[in-house]
Structure 1
């Protein structure tokens, strides 16, 4: 810094000769006054806007913090929770990531609180402030990514609705290459050809040099293509709807599907309308997100380009800001009487506030439109250790550990509803002393009350339960249990039962013996099988 004892610059202007050539020199707002170059103190927004302008910027930064939390919640839910809770899709994930990058462009300055000015008349640039470089890069990357991913989302919807193209893996890889490759290239070109600096609040923005060619024009081109594709899709939907109103063919009155499911060309207008309506019902959230983000980006681009061009015009035409500069000099730096004269030179404060808030709110729109209530219930289930979405089937015997040790027979029940797989109601109390299965091929003498008595051939069934099994007559049985004959006597003649068809009663068909003497054996582990 040079030391000058005399300066011809009126208050509040400062002489450029007193400062070095560091910082972003093109960001200075200076004017030749006699033999001296007088510059407006940095930052310029403090002199062109009222003090409430800083409050608007701070509010936008805190809204961006909330938006960052929302996008982080969505990304974490998509990464951790199952797909049936989140219905995640790569188009939604990548768009949310791009919005997160855009929000970081506002959050980083709020956390770091960087100095906007290199000295009293020069703003900082990405070369003199790492925070400026980071915030500007994230803002440009988020803007590029948001525009590209809403373009790809609109293109995907257009192909599905208008051209009946099922987008698959090839479109996904193309989207990944274009959705992230183009933004990375755009950020590199913007930083190399233009650079970023503190020019509009606490967040660094792209400089004027070559900014139209390397950022604003390409962004507006993709935004324009997105709008054209989106309105073409809307036009096709309206055409299909109007055609369905004039379709009175009787063949489509009771059918929602085309005559041949493998050919879309066979669909009548009403069938096409039903198909388009179903797609719109599934994709209306994505359509709303496309319109919101495109509106924000176009609004921001137009406003910032206008502000940028006005600032450059002030440097080349001294007469545009002459009245405002004279007012500041007369009032010795009191900006309040001169604010009305500064309004034609800058964008209206309400417009600036609206742009900043809309950019910061994109994450909130995403969580409202792409988020689902099942995400919240999924996190609750995860932390509580339960998963209500799974309808697992467990055994009745799992509830009766005191009764079951080695028993293998069980019924498959729904854990939630307490019903079997065939939706039949289970008994409220199930014990292992259920009636034994009686095969129609067995003689009545095999059905005894005691499980520990001997058979006629000398074999003995072990007493697994230690108590007598109580007999319960089946509902459709036409016989009754008979006690075993005394030793040495002939067994009575078997009781003839009425024949029946198992298919009429939905009962189990008679079991055929696979091994000799299999029908004479009672499996004690299967006695509680229903």
Structure 2
């Protein structure tokens, strides 16, 4: 194979994540692979640096989550406003951010050999960071769904909190993330696909992990939207209903007449508007929490789409990719004249570059939504 490409025949067929090699058939008899790590060839220098900087945003998010957890542990409930649904989200957010912080300290060698990325079986940092990412992300999705479902039951159906519901929520919130972690590790596996945190491999990843994560996030958002529209429908119905029993009549007693109806409309509309504002005021934190998790889901989707398109393009052996590879060979491995391969394989570097730090700030945004003045004065 011409430099910088390497022949897979010169390397063992075991060790690391062999399907993660970036290889293509030059001729029916010749297959060549890009050296590992492939990021420095496939993407622009600014793209790789942006991913590295994005990892550091997880540190303040991790600190914010620890502060919330310690506050709920130390301060009394009337001051800390602790609730098990909020605690569950924060615990798994802490695990999620740790999966990005660990590589900052371990500085893992993401390559098993010159063409093969490492996986959970060949690198301890990969096993730990990838396992925590799978567990943390799925846990956040599950607990957010439980939070949205509880708000819906409480507001729309006036369901009271019981020990049975509390224990059921704890069981589901702990068992489901562990179950999907086992599926990811046992069936899909994890490896270095993009940057220094391991993610689930392409094989069955949508069925065993990412598809469920997306479903939980979308379902939580849908339930939250239904809850808000239900509240608006109930309270605005009084706002637009002509005539009927007045607010003053229901309060004072029995008078029915034109004068009562005339003075009823403005107060009734004011009461309806106050109720709508009260509902929105009580729900805006949960609505924004759904948005935050949706942004995180977009981040994971971007990672999977990017890695999937890379593998699919090499298998298709596209003409554009061949031209890029030829340019790389003619320039002695210097990618500068050839440009980034990301547009060829359909990856929007700017979108990934923007999403990465936002994902790192998920914990900080959650902290802003959950912090109360009573917590600070309580300390």
Structure 1 distance, partners of 2:77, 2:112, is 50
Q: 1:317 matched to which residue of 2?
A: 316
Cα distance in 2 for partners of 1:122, 1:360 equals 28
In structure 2, the residue matched to 1:252 is 247
Confirm whether residue 129 of structure 1 aligns to residue 123 of structure 2: yes
**Aligned match of 2:7:** 15
1:193 aligns with 2:190: no
Which residue is equivalent to 2:361?
361
User: Which residue of structure 2 aligns with residue 308 of structure 1?
Assistant: 307
The 3-state SS of whatever aligns with 2:332 is coil
Alignment of 1:121-200 (within 5 A): 121-200=115-194
- Indicate how the Cα distance of structure 1 residues 45 and 255 shifts in structure 2: closer, same or farther if over 3 A, else same: farther
Whether 2:109 is the aligned partner of 1:110: answer: no
CA offset digits 1:155-206 (Å, max 9, x no partner): 1111122222223322211111111111100010011111111111111111
Distance in structure 2 (CA, Å) of the matches to 1:65 and 1:132: 19
In the aligned structure 2, how far is the partner of 1:341 from the partner of 1:204? 22
Deviation at 1:102, TM superposition (A): 0.9
Distance (Å, rounded) in 1 between the aligned partners of 2:342 and 2:180: 34
Deviation, structure 1 residue 37: 2.7
Deviation track 1:320-365 (CA, whole Å, cap 9, x = no partner) reads 5212211211211111122255423152222112222222111101
Secondary structure, counterpart of 1:338 in structure 2: coil
Q: Deviations over 1:405-435 (max 9, x none)?
A: xxxxxxxxxxxxxxxxxxxxxxxxxxxxxxx
Listed one character per residue, the Cα deviations across residues 480-518 of structure 1 (whole Å, up to 9, x for unaligned) are xxxxxxxxxxxxxxxxxxxxxxxxxxxxxxxxxxxxxxx
| Residue in structure 1 matched with residue 61 of structure 2 by the alignment | 67
CA–CA distance in 2 between the matches of 1:43 and 1:325?
16
Q: Is the 8 A contact 1:328 1:338 kept in 2?
A: yes
The aligned residue for residue 207 of structure 1 is 201
Given the alignment, which residue of 15, 21, 24 partners 2:17?
24
Q: Equivalent residue of 1:335, what SS? A: coil
TM-superposed CA distance for 1:91, in Å, is: 0.7
Distance 1:225 1:342, change over 3 A: closer
2-structure distance, mates of 1:255, 1:26: 72
- CA-CA distance at 1:303 after TM superposition: 1.8
Q: Would you say 1:40 and 2:34 are equivalent positions?
A: yes
Aligned residue pairs total 361
User: Does the aligned pair in 1 maintain the 2:180–2:209 contact within 8 Å?
Assistant: yes
Question: 2-side partners of 1:58 and 1:272: how far apart?
Answer: 51
1:48/1:343 contact within 8 Å kept: no
Q: Measure, in 1, the Cα distance between the counterparts of 2:125 and 2:346.
A: 25
Contact 1:126–1:133 (Cα < 8 Å) also in 2:
yes
Q: CA deviation at 1:296?
A: 2.3
Contact 1:243 1:270 in 2 (8 A): no
CA gap of 1:131–1:252, structure 2 versus 1, over 3 A, is same
Superposition pairs of residues 401-416 of structure 1, within 5 angstroms: none
Would you say 1:97 and 2:91 are equivalent positions? yes
8 Å contact from structure 1 (residues 12, 333) kept in 2: yes
In 1, are the aligned partners of 2:189 and 2:200 still within 8 Å (CA)? yes
Alpha-carbon distance, 1:116 to partner: 0.7
**Structure 1 residues 283 and 186: CA distance shift in structure 2, 3 A:** same
Distance 1:158 1:316 in 2: 47
The answer to whether 1:86 aligns with 2:80 is yes
Indicate if the aligned counterparts of 1:13 and 1:41 stay in contact, CA closer than 8 A.
Answer: yes
The answer as to whether partners of 1:240 and 1:272 remain within 8 angstroms in 2 is: no
| Residue number in structure 1 paired with 2:330 | 330
Does 149-158 or 240-249 show the bigger shift? 240-249
Query: What is the CA-CA distance between 1:282 and the residue it aligns to?
Result: 2.9
Give the 3 Å change call, closer, same or farther, for CA 42–269 of structure 1 in structure 2.
same
Q: Give, in angstroms, the shift of residue 254 of structure 1.
A: 8.3
CA distance in 2 between counterparts of 1:110 and 1:341 reads 27
Instruction: Give the TM-score normalised by structure 1.
Output: 0.64
Q: Is 2:6–2:33's contact at 8 Å kept on the other side of the alignment?
A: yes
Does structure 1 residue 235 correspond to structure 2 residue 229?
Answer: yes
Q: What's the Cα RMSD here?
A: 2.4
Contact 1:27 1:199 in 2 (8 A): yes
Distance 1:223 1:11, change over 3 A: same
Shift in alpha-carbon separation, 1:79–1:36, aligned structure 2, 3 A: same
Q: Which has the higher helix share?
A: 2
Distance 2:103 2:249 in 1: 61
Instruction: Judge which range, 242-251 or 25-34, deviates more.
Output: 242-251
- State the 1:271 CA deviation: 7.2
Residue 377 of structure 2 aligns with which residue? 377
Report the alpha carbon displacement of residue 85 of structure 1 after superposing the two structures with TM.
Answer: 2.2
By how many angstroms is 1:240 displaced?
A: 2.2
Instruction: Give the 5 Å matches for 1:251-290.
Output: 251-253=246-248, 277-290=277-290
What is the distance in 2 between the residues matched to 1:243 and 1:356? 43
Give the distance between the partners of 1:135 and 1:54, measured in 2 at CA: 19
Corresponding residue SS for 1:345? coil
Greater C-alpha Rg: 1
Select the structure with the greater relative contact order (CA < 8 A; seq sep ≥ 6).
2
Deviations 1:196-252 (A, max 9, x none): 111111111110111111012222222232222122112212212421212455642
